[in-house]
Structures are given as structure tokens and as C-alpha cells.
Amino acid sequence: MAYLIEGETGTWEIVIGLEVHAQVISNAKLFSGAATTFGAEPNSQVSFVDAGFPGMLPVINAVCVSQAVRTGLGLKAKINLTSVFARKNYFYADLPQGYQISQYDKPIVGEGELILDLADGSTRTVGIERLHLEQDAGKSIHDMHPTKSFIDLNRSGVALMEIVSKPDLRSPEEAGLYLTKLRSILRYLGTCDGNMQEGSMRCDANVSVRPVGSTELRTRCEIKNVNSIRFVQQAIEYEARRHVEVYESGGEIRQETRLFDSGRVETRSMRSKEHAHDYRYFPDPDLLPLVIEQAFVDEIKAGLPELPDEKKARFMAEYGLNAYDAGVLVAEKISAEFFETVAKGRDPKLACNWVMGDFFAALNASGKTIEEPPVTAANLGAMIDLITDGTLSGRLAKDVFALMVETGKAPGVLVEERGLKQVTDTGAIEAAIDAVIAANPDKVQQVRDGKTTLLGWFVGQVMKATQGKANPALVNELLAKKVQG
């Protein structure tokens, strides 16, 4: 379903490209031996290199390079065996060198693709323009003093991957799906933890609009550093409407950098970035071209995990799941693993229903993460076994599941302790039926006269008499025989 904006003069579509800055998972920084962990004391994870001291020189971290290659391969992208680091020159308080070491015209990763999983179960492929490695800047803190900004360089020099999409996205929803999927892939690869709150994944959105049917690319505005998927969507929505209003009132959009104000849900111009940007990129003379061997790339490729798209396809083929369920289960590697543990040797659809249903509900309600699940995969699997072997009815299983959440005990133990075993002993059920029939001769007569809907009432009575433990199928079968004669 296309997302379009109905204006006064016509219908408009949005053109969106996203630039994601993903912090590389590594112990040390991109060009120094200082640590990368989040939340340390100010300036405690800073080397003289990161602080831009005189005579300090960068030396690249091998793991950051392999992480970039790994990510490129995960995005089915071209890996450039020779890439070049360039300096992006600008002055800012948290940029100690006066330039950021980045990659400009020769990035380490070229074109690739990412597949969006749309709500209706279909997919759409979005182009990746490039991925390059660069240094993060430090942090300026503006609210610690009335007239001063405070500078912490702990982040300065941390490796980032800038992942740039092609302008292929057409709605806030697609932008959200893109970020969700990218985050999922990065987490599968173990190259970025995807934590937007801690800033390890940040997004700039390039937004423009055009009349439906047009193929032109109009002037875009860049919305900087939006730190949640929801905010990205809101920012795009606001920005696109702003463009339409400007065009329809005869105005022009100026290419500029804008900031999203999540409180007011609007974007505004960043005047501080207004005056002439001129980054004066040139190859960093402190660094030689980065040359990697095809064998190095092949080795990383051979070690890639099964990624969400492949896993989804396999879940659909191997377990017969529908696209939606498979998509939800594979979004996080750990939930996919949870499902596979539950499904192993069991009815996959039953496993899927339990994981997607009661399990996810319990997970949400518990406020825990799947790393510490309210019910372990082994216990959930054992419970499904009890359903399959007839020990538990569906209804009893729900009770057992609730008890598992409550107590953390294994389902077999709970069944024993609480006597929740389903009654399949025909004699016991027959006795219960006989008692109900004996007590209600008039209703028996009504059924025999054709009012078969009353059978349900009988089932209920029998179940009540057996504290819900009677096998419902058996109850139905026997009741039909006995009541209808």
C-alpha cells in the first residue's frame, strides 16, 4: 500500500534515503588502543591519539576492518579490496584532530541490498549505496554549566560503520522496517549491538518529496541523529508534509541539515551548521591505502552465520511456517534459536503457536528479555510433548504454562504435583457421564428429540465433574454415544 500525501495541488510521494552510523563491536578504538565500553568516567578511555595531541598517529584496528567486511558480506555487498581513508576537515569542540578520519571516494564496501519484510508478508528490496569506516567524535555536554560546554572524548575515535541506503524508501513505515532489518542483520553478524538508546546505532534521514509519477529527485533535507525508530518515522512524516506545504505555497526547499525535536514532533533548521560546509576531503597522509586479500574476505564469508533472510526462508520451507510468523521468529537470532529448540522433533506449527502466542505474551508481561525467558525452551518443548502424548489437553496446557511462568518448574513436575494429568481412562469418563445423565433425564430427552446444541452443556458438566482433566475428544465421543443412545 503506497504511502502518499494528498496535497491541495495533487498527490505527492516521499523519497527517503537513510544513513546509519553503527558502532562497530570491538575492544579497542579504530585507530588507537583505548577501550570502547559505554558509560565510563569522562576522558578515561582516551589515548593521546584520540585527543589529537601533537605528533600522534593513527594505526588501524584489524578487527574493525574485518567487522566492516563482515557487515558488507551480510548486506550482499561488493567488498573493495583497496579502500582509502580520507580526512573530513571541520572544527568542532568534540573533534580533537580538527578532522574526522573517514572514507570518501573509495569506501571499503560498495553496493549491496537489504530486504524489507512488509506487514502483508511480502518483501521489497532496498539498495545499499555503500558502507565505510570512520571515527566517532567525542561528546559535548551543554547542560552542566550556564556558560560552558563540557567535552568528554571517550567516544572520540570509536569505530563507526556508516551505512548509506539508496533513496529507495517511500514511507515512514518502510524506513522503520529498514532500520529494524538492518539492526537485525548487524546483531546476527555481531558487528554492532544496535542499541539506539546508547547511541551505538544512530540515523540520519534524507527526505524529499515529488509529485506521484515523477522520477525527479528534488532538494532533500537531512535530519540528523535521530535516536529511535519511532522518532525517525515521525521526523520523516513531519518533514515530508513540510516540503509539500512549502511547494504548494509556491516556495522552494533549501538543502539543509535539520534537527528533530521529539518533544514537539517537528524538525527545525540547525543554524549552527548553516555556514558553508566545505569538508576539504583528501586522502589521509598518515595512513596508506587499506589493502585486503580476497582470501581474507573468503574466510570471513565462510564464517558468516545464517542470516535472517535465509533463516526465514528455511523456517518457511522446513517448518511450514507462514511468512509473517517466520519473519517475527527470525528477527532476533536468539528468538529463532528459542523456537528451533522448542520445535526440534515436535510439531513445528504447534511450537510456533506456543512461542508466538503464550510465550511472547508472557515475555512481554514479564518485562524480561529472551536471554532470561520466563519459560525455558526445554520446558516449553516438554510441555508440547505432554500435549502431543495426550497427557495435557490444550486447556490444561494453558494452565500448566501459567504455572511454569509462576514457578519456573518443569511441566512434568507440575502435572504430577497438581494432578493436572488429562483423564483418558474411558471408565472414569463414562462414570462421570453416567452421573450427569442420571441427574438430568429431561435434558437427555431434549437432545434425543433433536436439540443437539445441548450436547455442549453436557460436555461442560462432564469437564466440571472431572476438574477439567477429562480428554475433551473422548468426552465428546462418549457423550454422543450415551446421550443420543
Partner 1 sequence: MSLDISAVRAIATLARIELGEEELAPLAGELSNILNFVEHLSEVNTDGIEPMSSVADLSLPMRADLVTDGDIAEQILANAPEAAEGFFTVPKVVE
Partner 2 sequence: MSELTHLTLAQARDRLVKGETSAVELTRAHIAQVEAKRHLNAFITETPERALAEAEASDARRRQGTAGAMEGLPIGIKDLFCTEGVRTTAASKILDGFVPPYESTVSGNLKTAGAISLGKLNLDEFAMGSSNKTSAFGPAINPWTRRSDPAAKLVPGGSSGGSAAAVAARMVLGATGTDTGGSIRQPAAFCGITGIKPTYGRCSRYGIVAFASSLDQAGPMARTVRDCAIMLGAMAGFDPKDSTSVNLKVPDFEAALTGDIRGLKVGIPREYRPDGLSAEISEVWEKGIAWLKEAGAEPVEINLPHTKYALPTYYIVAPAEASSNLARYDGLRFGQRVPGKSLDEMYAKSRAAGFGPEVRRRILIGTYVLSAGYYDAYYAKAQKVRRLIAEDFRKAFETVDVILTPTAPSPAFGLDENTDDPVTMWLNDVFTIPTSLAGLPGLSLPAGLSSDGLPLGLQLIGRPFDEETVFKVAGVMESAAGFDVSPEGV
Q: Is 303 in the site for partner 1 (CB under 8 A)?
A: no
Query: What is the nearest approach in angstroms of partner 1 to the Cβ of residue 409?
Result: 43
Query: What is the nearest approach in angstroms of partner 2 to the Cβ of residue 85?
Result: 10
Site for partner 2 in 51-70 (CB under 8 A): 51-60
φ/ψ region of 213 (left if φ > 0, alpha if ψ in -120 to 50, else beta) reads left
Three-class SS state of 384? helix
Q: Which does 148 bind (CB under 5 to 8 A by kind): partner 1, partner 2, none?
A: partner 1
Per-residue exposure over 343-364, b if at least 16 CB sit within 10 Å of its own CB, e if not: beebebebbbebbbebbeebbe
From first CA to last CA, the distance across the chain in angstroms is: 57
Q: Is 56 in the site for partner 1 (CB under 8 A)?
A: no
Q: CA dist 275 to 96, 249, 252, 366, Å?
A: 21, 26, 19, 50
Three-class SS state of 398? helix
Q: Which residues contact 425 (CB under 8 A, 6 or more apart)?
A: none
Q: How far apart are CA 217 and CA 73, in angstroms?
A: 29
Q: Which stretch binds partner 2 (CB under 8 A): 87-95, 199-207, 251-259, 348-356?
A: 87-95
Q: Is 146 in the site for partner 2 (CB under 8 A)?
A: no
Query: What is the nearest approach in angstroms of partner 1 to the Cβ of residue 82?
Result: 8
Q: Which stretch binds partner 1 (CB under 8 A): 30-38, 180-188, 215-223, 426-434?
A: 30-38
Q: Which of 99, 178, 338, 339 binds partner 2 (CB under 8 A)?
A: 99
Tell me which H or E stretch contains 126. Answer: strand 123-135
Q: Which of 119, 212, 291, 431 binds partner 1 (CB under 8 A)?
A: 291
Q: How far apart are CA 393 and CA 180, in angstroms?
A: 37
Q: Which of 429, 358, 360, 426 is nearest to 387 (CA)?
A: 358
Q: CA dist 187 to 114, 161, 194, Å?
A: 14, 14, 7
Q: How far apart are CA 360 and CA 331, in angstroms?
A: 13
Closer residue to partner 1 (CB): 10 or 283 = 283
Q: Which does 428 bind (CB under 5 to 8 A by kind): partner 1, partner 2, none?
A: none
Closer residue to partner 1 (CB): 9 or 27 = 27
Q: Is 283 in the site for partner 1 (CB under 8 A)?
A: yes
Q: Which stretch binds partner 2 (CB under 8 A): 12-20, 285-293, 338-346, 466-474?
A: 285-293
> Is residue 397 a contact partner of residue 386, using CB atoms and an 8 Å limit?
yes
> Is residue 345 a contact partner of residue 378, using CB atoms and an 8 Å limit?
no
Closer residue to partner 2 (CB): 98 or 303 = 98
Site string for partner 2, 147-176 (x = CB under 8 A): --x-x-------------------------
Q: Which of 2, 57, 144, 438 binds partner 1 (CB under 8 A)?
A: 144
Q: How far apart are CA 29 and CA 25, in angstroms?
A: 10
Q: Which does 307 bind (CB under 5 to 8 A by kind): partner 1, partner 2, none?
A: none
Q: Which stretch binds partner 1 (CB under 8 A): 143-151, 350-358, 394-402, 405-413?
A: 143-151
Per-residue exposure over 125-156, b if at least 16 CB sit within 10 Å of its own CB, e if not: ebebbbbbbbbbbbbeeeeeeeeeeebbbbbb
Q: How many residues bind partner 1 (CB under 8 A)?
A: 55
Q: Which of 287, 297, 313, 455 binds partner 2 (CB under 8 A)?
A: 287
Q: Which residues, in sequence order, are bridge partners of residue 6?
A: 11
Phi, psi of 210 (to 5 degrees): -155, 155
Q: Which of 254, 280, 344, 368 binds partner 2 (CB under 8 A)?
A: 280
Q: Is 211 in the site for partner 1 (CB under 8 A)?
A: no
Q: Which residues contact 344 (CB under 8 A, 6 or more apart)?
A: 381
Q: Which stretch binds partner 2 (CB under 8 A): 125-133, 282-290, 330-338, 413-421?
A: 282-290
Q: How many residues bind partner 2 (CB under 8 A)?
A: 30
**Cα-based torsion angle of the residue sequence 197, 201, 204, 210 in order, rounded to the nearest 10 degrees:** -100
Site for partner 2 in 428-457 (CB under 8 A): none
Closer residue to partner 2 (CB): 98 or 456 = 98
Per-residue exposure over 211-235, b if at least 16 CB sit within 10 Å of its own CB, e if not: eeeeeeeeebbbbbebeebebbbbb
Q: Is 420 in the site for partner 1 (CB under 8 A)?
A: no
Q: Is 96 in the site for partner 2 (CB under 8 A)?
A: yes
Where along the sequence are the contacts to partner 2 (CB under 8 A)? Answer: 48, 51-60, 87, 89, 91-93, 96-99, 149, 151, 278, 280-282, 285-288
Where along the sequence are the contacts to partner 1 (CB under 8 A)? Answer: 26-28, 32-35, 41-49, 51, 59-65, 84, 91, 93, 140-142, 144-153, 259, 270, 272, 275-276, 278, 280, 282-283, 285, 287-291
